[in-house]
Amino acid sequence: MKRRTAIRITALALLAAGMWSATVFAQGRFPEKSVRMVVPAPPGSAPDILARLLGQKLSDIWGQPMVVDNVVGASGNIGTDRVAKAPGDGYTLLFNTIGPIAVNVTLFGDKLPYDPLKDLTPVSLVTKMPNLLTVNPNVPVKSLKELIAMAKKEPGKLRYGTAGPGTTQHLSGELLNTLEHINLVAIPYKSSAQMTTDAIGGQIEVLFHNAQPLLPHVKAGTLRPIAITSAKRSPTLPDIPTMSEAGVPGFEITAWFGVMAPGTTPQPIVQKLSADVQKVVAMPEIRDRILADASEPIGNRPEEYAAFIRSEIAKWRVVIKQANMKPD
């Protein structure tokens, strides 16, 4: 009896919160206080920087502060779970990354403390950030076909760095292994900075990494670009072919960032948040900043983002199982 009473009280509290939020929205007063944006990544990281850019513009639109809260740990699961269990009143949001939403569903399985399709609701996809496939300049290849040929001739010789299981660096390497039946060997690192340093120094031969931090090294000639993992060429790097153009049809992987809310958030508030995020992403200064990082600005509707998330979960489930990836 006590348990049933507690469940009823909780349900009524959630219902009341939702009705209160919807009323506030209907009266044109949303938001009427500061909004917290949880970022499951450390300060200074790519998602943190982008979340703060987005937050400042949203603050300007709302006339209310947007407070960025970095909650790291467990491959992004801790911060994501915190939002999944927060009240659905629109005042706690998640600036999500690909890992906790699409990859960790399969990587962690039953140990994942939330269901991204039920406990969270999509607001808008903000941007996609591709990886660059690069090699140390001493590696005697200048194209993707030459790299694949070398990997087939000398199985297990070529090593690539990853910042951990299920990261886009790891997924990129394993997707290439799967599609081309080769054996690039994954070398795990505790930081992407050390991984990049070792690629430049020749301790590893191959590096998949977000395009933005690699741009200075590509321009300096300390890393040789082979291909970009996006579906289309980047306006920032127009001479670098996509993986599909370079010889591996259908190869696409991007680190993507978006905004989500607790699953109990009323749809009128979700739609309001989505419209405002789309407005910010369409601002010329925001688009230019995203494009300068060799990334793609998106800004879409909740239903479009939801469909994208489902497709990403399905895509990476296959790769993770085939590569037998396990969390740290």
Residue with tokens 């569903």: 105
Q: Residues with Cβ < 8 Å from 55, sequence gap 6 or more?
A: 37, 66, 67, 68
Closest to 185 measured CA to CA, from 170, 164, 200, 195: 170
In CATH, 2-129+255-322 is 3.40.190.150: yes
Query: Token pair for residue 81?
Result: 């779970």
DSSP per position, 215-262: HHHHHHTSSEEEEE-SSS-BTTBTTSPBHHHHT-TT---EEEEEEEEE
Condensed to tens digits (0 to 9), the pLDDT of residues 30-68 reads 999 999 999 999 998 889 999 999 999 999 999 999 999
Condensed to tens digits (0 to 9), the pLDDT of residues 163-221 reads 888 899 999 999 999 999 999 999 999 888 899 999 999 999 999 999 888 999 999 99
CATH topology of domain 131-246: D-Maltodextrin-Binding Protein; domain 2 (3.40.190)
Each domain of the chain, given as residue ranges in start order, spans 2-129+255-322, 131-246
According to the model, what pLDDT value does residue 21 have? Answer: 47
According to the model, what pLDDT value does residue 26 have? Answer: 46
According to the model, what pLDDT value does residue 27 have? Answer: 44
Longest dimension (CA), the chain: 72
DSSP per position, 111-161: G-SS-TTTTEEEEEEEEEEEEEEEE-TTSS--SHHHHHHHHHHSTTT-EEE
According to the model, what pLDDT value does residue 14 have? Answer: 52
Name residues of the chain where pLDDT drops below 70. Answer: 1-28
Q: Cβ–Cβ contacts within 10 Å for residue 87, how many? A: 16
Q: Residues with Cβ < 8 Å from 109, sequence gap 6 or more?
A: none
**Taking a C-beta distance cutoff of 8 angstroms, is the pair 95, 51 a contact?**
yes
According to the model, what pLDDT value does residue 8 have? Answer: 56
Q: Residues with Cβ < 8 Å from 20, sequence gap 6 or more?
A: 89
Q: pTM for the whole thing?
A: 0.86
